[in-house]
Amino acid sequence: MFITNDIKYIGVNDHKIDLFEGQYVVPNGMAYNSYVILDEKVAVMDTVDQNFGDEWLANLEAVLEGRKPDYLIVQHMEFDHAANIANFMEKYPEATVVSNARAFKMMKQFFGTCFEDRQIVVDDGSTFSLGKHVLAFVFAPMVHWPEVMVTYDTTDKVLFAADGFGKFGALDVEEEWDCEARRYYIGIVGKYGMQVQNLLKKAATLDIQIICPLHGPVLTENLGHYLNLYDIWSSYGVESEGIVIAYTSVYGNTKKAVEKFAKKLEEKGCPKVVVNDLARCDMAEAIEDAFRYGKIVLATTTYNSGVFPFMHTFLNGLAERNYQKRTVGIIENGSWAPQAAKTIKNLLSECKELNYCENVVTINSALDEVSAAQLEALAEELCKEYK
Ligand code: FEO
């Protein structure tokens, strides 16, 4: 695939994968991107997943047209990109690895060698010439590992963005960018909003025409759209108006209350109501929705003096990703000692700027007149701004 006259795509599509990073379902597979810059010197940008070494090396051979690569530039040592470093170095004994000190330390851990006699160590802000193309390295720690750096080709104005601006899904499947990029970002990088903000500030000083991420499509148009979404996500801002209800239910009574509640929200003018059954939906999708919308309602049974296990997992998923700046409503259910509301607040105690609704719904086994009135009051409180 042609990116610019000198930059070619040599990545691969993975449709065999069951869970990306051992936990994320990827119904449309995954792409591991890699690029070649053909100049006086030839540089390869990252490798691919371990199952695709032969295909990747064949893709590389095809664009080299008999030339040999001079450099392998390693931006990220996670194994979906780094697995084939040793294979590459074996195949091209004249090549040199270009990366930073932290990455070389990890290389040694993964491969037992960091190619001491064939390495160039670069610093944050340093530049590297391939001839016509001058590359500038920008360290991006924790986007998404500590050794990550991105690379700006000052000649073609291309940002090689490592995991940044990546998404789930192979490149031979057409799908909307936002949804699977959001699920990818919130799931994988969501905790590191501050670090992404730092990177965006540096990126704002560059004239970027093309973004080449390590996953997902090469972005060539309307870059403001993607940059804006990354700004919202990394600052924990609200992307879409609406209310998301995340619930668990054992015998269906909490579910019935949630269905009634969702209808009320719609009737009261809420522009979008999203309902996620945490035991049955994709947990990563539910977490993504929590970050997308400004308001959330958590509905759950009391269980082992806490909350139902799927709700526990969900709340942990929010807290560990620095969930913040949201309005939170609670519907708790319990047949003898409801205490889900207390547990929810404890589990989210580290989250900043959560605004809990005054009205809490407490259901004793099934909705009755009292809890139905609480449900109405909570809906009213959440929807007053929509009137
Ligand atoms: Fe795509 Fe952090 O690896």
Q: What is the pLDDT of residues 257-267, one digit of tens each?
A: 999 999 999 99
* Ligand 1: nearest atom to the Cα of 215: 1
Ligand 1: residue whose CA is nearest its atom 1? 163
Tokens 């090549």 belong to 95
Residue type, 23: Q
Task: Tell me how far CA of residue 279 lies from CA of 152, 246, 247, 255, 276, in angstroms.
Answer: 43, 10, 8, 12, 9
In whole angstroms, give the CA distance from residue 243 to residue 245: 7
Residue 150, pLDDT score: 98
How far is ligand 1, taken at its centre, from the CA of residue 78, in Å?
A: 5
> Which 3 state secondary structure label does DSSP give 240?
strand
Whole-number Å distance between alpha carbons of 385 and 387: 6
Cα four-point dihedral sign 38, 44, 50, 54:
positive
Ligand 1 nearest atom to the CA of residue 163, by list position: 1
Q: What confidence score (pLDDT) does residue 39 get?
A: 98
Average pLDDT, the chain: 97
The predicted structure's pLDDT at residue 337: 86
The closest alpha carbon to 72, from 102, 107, 30, 20, belongs to: 107
Q: What is the pLDDT of residue 71?
A: 98
State yes or no: pLDDT of 387 exceeds 90. no
pLDDT in tens, 13-56: 999 999 999 999 999 999 999 999 999 999 999 999 999 999 99
Give the list of residues 6+ apart from residue 117 with CB closer than 8 angstroms, or none.
Answer: none
Handedness of CA 135, 136, 140, 141 (dihedral sign): positive
Ligand 1 pocket (Cβ < 6 Å) reads 76, 78, 80-81, 144-145, 163, 214-215
Beta bridge partners of 29: none
For ligand 1, the distance from its centroid to the CA atom of residue 339, given in whole angstroms, is 39
Check whether 319 has a pLDDT greater than 90: yes
Q: Which residues, 6+ apart, have CB-to-CB distance to 116 below 8 Å? A: none
Q: Taking the complete model, does pTM exceed 0.85, yes or no?
A: yes
